[in-house]
């Protein structure tokens, strides 16, 4: 059993893999994390393997408790990775971006890859077919764009994702929807177009909380997997153990 934990900015996901297959996916919070994992490993004979990626705040007590539940690997900037990191400030590269780049490298070998994570922020990460990580971009996610319009203006309401987002908004609400949603879609397509001009044979992976909303609205051919970070943790666990 391999338990993959993704501690994000807004929520924590736990994936349980057995014999290489995803058996269960749990969305929880940090306070209930240890209890949920304890429930998952009840009755198993062998010690569970646990791999953790965190961009959120996880207390030392939680980490100590996780160590009592199994063989814990915490992904950090010193972990073994399957690509060469060419980022000019490698120690500042987010752990989530490292894991996603590793997953793309391991799942799609010998390809140019662009990983787009549409969550709290939208991140873009480019790894070429020589397994060299070059970097990418970070921009505000959909929720942050709505919230900033509400927080930093006097009269604009706080909106949520809507199926209706025509280019010409006929009210304040639909104008916000147009600006935020069409803006995000145009941004993502522009990044994909840029990297496709650099490398025609480009594999694009779209993940994150808003990936399912976006996938059918993008004109480009992409692989959509909202839980790609968890799958990447599973793949990275095997790589780390093999290279330990």
| pLDDT at position 45 | 58
Q: Which candidate, 139, 221, 145, 215, places its Cα nearest to that of 178?
A: 145
Least confident of 7-16, 104-113, 200-209: 7-16
Residue 38: predicted pLDDT = 79
Residues annotated as part of the active site: 96
Residue 80 scores a pLDDT above 70: yes
Tokens standing for residue 161: 């994702």
Q: What pairing do the DSSP bridges indicate for beta strands 70-74 and 48-54?
A: parallel
C-alpha to C-alpha distance for 238 and 79, rounded to whole angstroms: 12
Which pLDDT score, from 0 to 100, does residue 210 have? 94
Mean pLDDT of 205-224: 91
Mean pLDDT of 70-83: 95
Q: Which two tokens stand for residue 224?
A: 């959509």
**pLDDT tens per residue, range 173-209:** 999 999 999 999 999 999 999 999 987 789 999 999 9
Entry pTM: 0.92
- Which pLDDT tens digit goes with each residue over 138-154? 999 999 999 999 999 99
pLDDT interval class at 219 (50, 70, 90) = confident
Position 226 pLDDT exceeds 80: yes
Statement: residue 44 has pLDDT above 70: no
Quote the mean pLDDT of the chain.
91
């Amino acid at each position: 059993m391999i338990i993959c934990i993704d501690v994000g900015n807004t929520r924590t996901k736990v994936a349980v893999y057995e014999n290489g297959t995803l058996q269960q996916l749990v969305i929880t919070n940090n306070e209930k994390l240890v209890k949920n994992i304890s429930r998952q490993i009840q009755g198993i004979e062998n010690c569970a393997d646990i791999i953790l990626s965190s961009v959120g705040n996880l207390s030392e007590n939680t980490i100590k408790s996780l160590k009592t539940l199994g063989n814990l690997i915490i992904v950090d900037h010193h972990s073994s990775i399957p690509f060469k990191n060419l980022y000019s400030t490698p120690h500042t590269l987010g752990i989530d971006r490292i894991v996603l780049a590793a997953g793309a490298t391991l799942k799609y070998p010998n390809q140019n890859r662009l990983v787009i994570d549409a969550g709290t922020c939208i991140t873009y990460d480019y790894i070429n077919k020589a397994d060299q990580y070059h970097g990418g971009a970070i921009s505000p996610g959909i929720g942050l764009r709505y919230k900033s319009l509400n927080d930093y203006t006097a009269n604009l309401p706080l909106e949520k994702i809507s199926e209706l987002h025509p280019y010409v908004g006929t009210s304040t609400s639909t104008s916000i929807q147009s600006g935020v949603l069409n803006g995000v879609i145009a941004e993502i397509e522009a990044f994909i177009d840029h990297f496709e001009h650099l490398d025609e044979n480009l594999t694009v992976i779209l993940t994150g909380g808003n990936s399912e909303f976006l996938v059918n609205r993008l004109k480009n051919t992409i692989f959509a997997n909202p839980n790609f970070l968890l799958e990447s943790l599973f793949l990275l666990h095997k790589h780390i153990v093999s290279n330990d």
